[in-house]
Amino acid sequence: MEPFDSFIVWITEFLGDHLYEGIFLAALLETVVPPIPTLAVFPTAGFLASQQGISVLGLIPMIILGAIGATIGTSSIYFIALKLGRAVLIRYLKHFRISEKKLERVEVWFEKYGDKAVFLGRMVPVMREMISVPAGLLKMKIPKFLLYTFAGSCVWSTGTILSGYYFSEAIGLGTSQITPLP
C-alpha cells in the first residue's frame, strides 16, 4: 500500500471515531503541514456523517470547526510573515524556488486585491496556505485578515463537506437510504 493510501485509510478510521475533532485537526494541520489534504478529508467526513445519520443541520458544527481550525492554522503563517519580515522570508522561500521577483509580483497583486484575495484564496488548493504570506508581509490588519480567512474557510468547508455528504446520499449509502434487513 502506498504511503498516501495508508494515510487516507488512517484518517478515515480516525474520522469514523472522532468526526468533529478530526475536521478541526485536519483543517488546523493542513495550513501548517500542507501534505494533509482537506480536499480529501472534508468530503470523507461529509460521507461518514451521512452514513452515521447526521442531518444536514448537524453538519454546521463540522463546517464551523473546519473554518476555525483553518483560521487558527493559517494565522500562524500570517504572524510568521508579519514578524519575520521580507528579508528573512526571501531567504526561506529560495529553498522553494520562489525568487524575490516572484514575491514582488505577488505583493503588487495582493495590494490590488488584498481583501478579495484572502477570501477567495481560502477556497483554492495550495493558495489556501500561501495567501497568508503576502497578507502578513504587507501588514493586512489582523481583524480584517481573520474575518476574510474565516469567511472563506466557511465556504470551503461547506462545499467540501456537503460534496461528500450528498455523494453518500446519491449512491444510496446514507442512513436515510438504507433499509433494515428482515
Contacts 24+ apart (CB under 8 A), 14-19: 15/41, 15/44, 15/45, 15/48, 16/48, 19/45, 19/48, 19/49, 19/52, 19/54, 19/62
In a domain, 181, yes or no: no
What integer is the mean pLDDT of 112-137?
86
Which is more confidently placed, 111 or 66? 66
In a domain, 175, yes or no: no
pLDDT in tens, 132-180: 888 998 899 999 999 999 999 999 999 999 999 999 888 876 554 444 4
In a domain, 176, yes or no: no
* Grid cell in block for residue 17: 471515531
In a domain, 66, yes or no: yes
pLDDT in tens, 49-106: 998 899 999 999 999 999 999 999 999 989 988 998 877 777 777 776 777 787 788 7
For residue 1, pLDDT over 90 is answered with no
How many distinct structural domains can be found in the chain?
1
pLDDT at 111: 85
Domain that holds residue 131: 3-170
pLDDT at 173: 63
For the whole model, what pTM was predicted? Answer: 0.81
In a domain, 105, yes or no: yes
In a domain, 97, yes or no: yes
